[in-house]
Amino acid sequence: MTKMILGGLTALLLLASALLWMLRPGSQRVEGSAAPDFNLQDQNGKAHRLSDYAGRWLVLYFYPKDDTPGCTREACRFRDDIGVLGDLNAAVVGVSVDDARSHAGFARKYQLPFPLLSDPDGHTAAAYDSLLNLGLVRIARRHTFIIAPDGRIAARFDKVDPARHAEEVANTLRALQPTS
């Protein structure tokens, strides 16, 4: 009986340690630094690079998994606010480690009007300090970057509430842009 209790406590401590390790803060891509380049395919097989968005604002959001509750809520909020973001001269692009076929189904199901980029090896998510690597399982952390027209990171969001995030991004874009 004592061995079972000790075994259970050991397993619980190992699990808690693993969770704390996964949630630790990583190195940070700081605001003002150059945004890492990427070359990824979207849900339709079209390649996208950072340079494709030069001269306009880019909302580059990383998300864990297609068609899950939080990711769906976040994507649909960006969909619903795409006009507001477009009026702010901003393109929206989602990135996860899911494959293009999964992205295609997700985009079709929720009528998402923006590219979802497939990062199956996680290199782009890692370049943006947004990869959670659990050994056999890799997922993108829910982070968002606003990239300025000059290719520099203008804002970064590490704590994202999927239900309110699109509005938060729009407000930040308004604050970043000069008033005319």
Q: Residues 98, 103, 77, 23: what is their CA dihedral angle, to the nearest 10 degrees?
A: 0
SS3 category, 98: coil
CB-based contacts of 94: which residues, under 8 Å, 6+ apart?
A: 61, 62, 63, 75, 78, 112, 114, 115, 116, 117
Distance CA 15, CA 83 (A): 44
Distance CA 21, CA 17 (A): 6
Catalytic residue among 35, 58, 59, 71: 71
CB-based contacts of 139: which residues, under 8 Å, 6+ apart?
A: 64, 65, 96, 97, 131, 132
Active site residue 71: yes
Of residues 151, 155, 157, the one with CA closest to residue 173: 155
Q: Around 133, how many Cα atoms within 13 Å sit in the side-chain half-sphere? A: 12
* Residues with a known catalytic role: 71
